[in-house]
Structure 1
Amino acid sequence: MQRSFTDQLNRTIHISYPPKRIISLVPSQTELLFDLGLDSEIIGITKFCVHPESKSKEKTKIGGTKKLNLELIRSLKPDLIIGNKEENEQSQIEELMKDLPVWMSDIYDLEDAKNTIIQIGELVDRMPEAAYLNHLINAGFNDLQTLALENNLNKSVAYLIWKNPYMFAGRNTFINHMLAMNGLNNVIRENRYPEMDLNELALLKPELIFLSSEPYPFKEKHLEEIRTVIPEAKVMLVDGEMFSWYGSRLVKAVQYLFQFQKELY
């Protein structure tokens, strides 16, 4: 049967319900779809969709999140495509929207992420599974916030996502919200992902500097370069998936962040 849904860009799409041929354009949402039990319905994913490994490696790869193979996508004849405003290129999405049902998310904080899980659950006929994931996420993040308060965790932080040039997670990002929920105050005041050199960062006096594992794969060798310029800060490698993936990965992020908070006292 045909059903209509409104996505987070306030667009209405019409799909055959429940959808049987789904393409996901975002790694975190791909993992969510698998965790909702849609193994056979998922027919195409991006090359960056790596979780769960055993299932994702068997699926057709339709390019990268920002370099989609539009002809391949069309040839797969999907009855639903799920993307994200930030992670996918607007021009490519608009091209797909001309003749295919594309549902888009737009996520800035944990509340948005939970709403997305529920809405995707409705979209793919997996409401009970989606509600259970949100139950786990709610309980976990309530406990994380309580832990941060009990331990008076209130430190300033800078979160690096890129090198050459150095780029940071600023305000109005999901990462910024995740930092705040763990008692951390972002020293970057600009919105989105501003560029800044290390001497400028030093003037902001962050107590902590996090080097993310993605999208730039920061490694041990990069720590010393930053410590040389800002020796008074604690510089750490962090798992970028745990701070920036907003699907079912949030359930795993809770355990990671419990352990992580203990390293910051």
Structure 2
Amino acid sequence: MEVSTFSDASAALTDAVGTCHHPAHGPVRIVSLVPSLTELVCDLGLGDQLVGRTGFCIHPRETLKPIPKVGGTKDVKLDVVRALAPTHLIVNIDENRRETVEELADFVPNVIVTHPCRPEDNFGLYRMFGAIFHREAQADRLVADLDAAFVEAGAVAAALPVERVLYLIWRAPWMTVSRETYISAALASVGWHTLPDATADRYPEVDWDSASIADIARVFLSTEPYRFSAADLGEAERLARRPAALIDGEMTSWYGSRAAAGLRYLARLRRELAERDAGRLAPA
């Protein structure tokens, strides 16, 4: 991938619902309802202009400690947001309720709607945030780092055979992710293709009796949203009859400035598990 530039200002300023924003003028007061984008705001050097965040916005911890919480991603306290008098609100189509965003739009002048579905979509996020908040240089650095991370992930994918995997996000009931999710796209960047191949649900329940389970190479148990631990590995291995491993959910599902680190994490994990498998199969 080539490093992208800010040559098309109009495209850079257009959000996920087609709203074309303008570069900010005057004092900026940002409320972010998206944990991964709160991190991006801070990494772009905008931490001092962030006036509100959700309780799930936890990175970077020290920067966010004094920033007021406005509730959760779904249960936003409208009166708290109103009192903070934000000039810009950052939301996400999947993570925030449309009805809540519409109510907030009644008194927040600029509502920036995001919807990254693949790691590649982070390039557009960097451009948009950089253009709106006058952080083009910082955004360009993130673009270059993500380009380099894609090269590393692609090298691993090219060096190893494609594996089908089952990625678990919940239990009781057991649930996984569809191919339409950001998580699945991130895993595919290093040659891990998630099961099921097709489904109408973004987060379908797992059918352990399905014949397709026999096609997977391994099971991943994510550390979020359900906090799987090492104690769950044995049960997953018994149900799938395949090896299971924990995987860092923040590194697979958080977009924004964590995207490059996430791709590098997946590339490293793919190499480590391949080496472990080779050692297990080597003759004594």
Q: What is the TM-score normalised by the length of structure 2? A: 0.86
Task: Find the counterpart in structure 2 of residue 240 from structure 1.
Answer: 249
CA 1:185–1:74: 2 relative to 1, 3 Å: same
Task: Find the counterpart in structure 1 of residue 225 from structure 2.
Answer: 215
Matches within 5 A, 1:168-187: 168-187=176-195
Q: For the residues of structure 1 that align with 2:261 and 2:210, how far apart are their CA atoms? A: 34
Task: Find the counterpart in structure 2 of residue 104 from structure 1.
Answer: 113
State the structure with more CA Rg.
2
The offset of 1:184, in angstroms, is 1.0
Q: For the residues of structure 1 that align with 2:38 and 2:133, how far apart are their CA atoms? A: 13
Task: Find the counterpart in structure 2 of residue 70 from structure 1.
Answer: 78
User: Residue type of the partner of 1:141?
Assistant: F
Contact 2:118 2:186 in 1 (8 A): yes
CA 1:173–1:25: 2 relative to 1, 3 Å: same
Q: For the residues of structure 1 that align with 2:255 and 2:60, how far apart are their CA atoms? A: 15
Q: For the residues of structure 1 that align with 2:20 and 2:146, how far apart are their CA atoms? A: 28
Q: What is the TM-score normalised by the length of structure 1? A: 0.92
3-state SS in 1 of match to 2:169: strand
Runs (5+) with no aligned partner, structure 2: 1-9, 275-284
Q: For the residues of structure 2 that align with 1:133 and 1:58, how far apart are their CA atoms? A: 26
Task: Find the counterpart in structure 2 of residue 42 from structure 1.
Answer: 50
CA 1:32–1:199: 2 relative to 1, 3 Å: same
3-state SS in 2 of match to 1:214: coil
Structure 1 or 2: more strand by fraction:
1
The offset of 1:13, in angstroms, is 5.0
Instruction: Let me know the Cα RMSD of the aligned residues.
Output: 1.9
- C-alpha offsets along residues 110-166 of structure 1, whole Å, 9 cap, x if unaligned? 22121111111111110110111110011111121112212x231111111112222
User: Residue type of the partner of 2:152?
Assistant: D
Task: Find the counterpart in structure 1 of residue 149 from structure 2.
Answer: 140
Answer with 8-17 or 82-91: which moved more: 8-17
Counterpart of 2:31 (choices 23, 34, 52) is: 23
Runs (5+) with no aligned partner, structure 1: none
Q: For the residues of structure 1 that align with 2:39 and 2:26, how far apart are their CA atoms? A: 19
Q: What number of residue pairs does the alignment pair up?
A: 260
Q: For the residues of structure 1 that align with 2:24 and 2:52, how far apart are their CA atoms? A: 18
Matches within 5 A, 1:86-235: 86-100=94-108, 101-150=110-159, 152-188=160-196, 189-191=198-200, 192-200=202-210, 203=213, 205-231=215-241, 233-235=242-244
Task: Find the counterpart in structure 2 of residue 260 from structure 1.
Answer: 269
